[in-house]
A and B are shown apart, each in its own frame.
Chain A
Amino acid sequence: MDLNSQEVIKRLADEHGSDQLVVILGAPDAESAEIAAETVVLGDPTYAGALAEARDDISVVMLEAPKARRVCIRLKVHGLPTFLLMHDGEEVARLSASTISPAQLNDWLDTSLDEMREEVS
């Protein structure tokens, strides 16, 4: 979800109280709506949500693609969101999906980290 939208939602919730807000989603399918609803309620895993607060075994860096176009081109990031797991400056795993929940992201990270550790050892 757009970062500006997230900030506005947070501000409105602070001003009016979340019980006074009604959020209407125009998502094209149920899965997208579920992810958007999860983002509104729990936070965005790429911004201030589950990933940023739940994982202490990795460092998380977020790039805003429009402001980091050259980096995105160099890393061959063609769709958003894209998650790259890096180790010693090298990409070891990549996840690019139009909709993904915090739980799916954490599952992917766990699997990728296990595979990476097996290769290193």
Chain B
Amino acid sequence: MFESKQVIVLGERDGIAGPAIAACVKSAGGNVAFASTECFV
């Protein structure tokens, strides 16, 4: 799924935090190009 792809992670404070998603992507062999945790308010 992540082969030769750059992964952008947009986590959200009220949802799933960026680092948690990034850790999952890395464990699945993905290359995380950018990760952040957004906040609407």
Contacts and interface: CB of A to CB of B under 8 A. Distances in A.
Contact of A22 (B6, B15, B17, B20): B6
A63 to B, nearest CB: 16
Interface size grouping (class) on chain B = 20 to 34
Given A12-B33, A98-B41, A24 B15 contact: no
Grouping DSSP codes into helix (H, G, I), strand (E, B) and loop, the B interface class, with mixed when no group exceeds half, is mixed
Interface stretch (A1-9, A67-75, A83-91): A1-9
B6 A28 contact: no
Contacts, number: 77
Nearest to A4: B36
Interface size grouping (class) on chain A = 20 to 34
Grouping DSSP codes into helix (H, G, I), strand (E, B) and loop, the A interface class, with mixed when no group exceeds half, is mixed
Interface string A39-80: 010000000000000000000000000000000000000011
Interface of A: 1-2, 4-5, 8-9, 12, 16, 20-29, 32, 36, 40, 79-80, 98-99
